[in-house]
Amino acid sequence: MKILVLGNGFDLDHNLPTSYMDFLNFCNYVLDMDNPDSLKIKKLKPAQIKYAEYLKSCEPIRNTFISYLENNSLINYFNARAKLQGENWIDFEREIKGVVNEFKIIEFELKKSNQCVYRTDKNHKVHQILKQLNPDYVIVYLWDEISLFNVHKSLCKSLNYFCLALEYYISVFINETPIKGVSQDIIDFDANKVLTFNYSDTYERMYGG
């Protein structure tokens, strides 16, 4: 039996704008598209410029997309990380894991201390993370179960909306983008089964599912 395993590289090989930076740049453009001085559109790929033009003419879709992105702290965080790491930065999952781990450390230290609160100093990494999530963040040195819960709740909400925005981007735009040509290697492989980690339906569209 031949099993074909697909990841996001499959979409990228079909010239679809599905990298992390593609999506983040599009989010930034959508949030700033009413600004006549915005230069963010220069970062968009040709297909994404068509998406942007479509959004301008379709208010319901545009409003839905904006509702997922507006005031989303993860957009702030990913922009800050991309600025530090450059255009080749590619890993949302790793960044999210890093944020979660920092708060798990504080939670662990709080429980281990058997105290009501746990104190962090001003150089603690969690303060840098929170500043990237929210530029207006004021340092909180004392952490208890309630403050940790509130951060957790806020992050989960932002992550949920961010995921919805990505799903919307894939379903409304990527899955409707014309694709030119197929991969002869995929055809020649003649897989019996396909295991895909992609969010798009590119394989089904181009190779008949």
What single string gives the DSSP state of each residue in 3-67? EEEE-HHHHHHTT---SHHHHHHHHHHHHHTT-TT--GGGGS-HHHHHHHHHHHH-HHHHHHHHH
**What pLDDT is recorded for position 90?**
66
pLDDT tens column, 150-180:
999 999 999 999 999 999 999 999 999 999 8
What per-residue confidence (pLDDT) applies to 38? 64
DSSP annotation of 175: G
User: What's this model's pTM, rounded to 2 decimal places?
Assistant: 0.88
Burial class (CB in 10 A: 0-12, 13-18, 19+), 73: buried
Which residues of the chain are modeled with pLDDT < 50?
A: none
Residues 173, 201: contact at Cβ < 8 Å? Answer: no
pLDDT for the residue 208:
78
Q: Which of 37, 78, 38 is nearest to 166 (CA)?
A: 78
Q: Residue 27: what pLDDT? A: 94
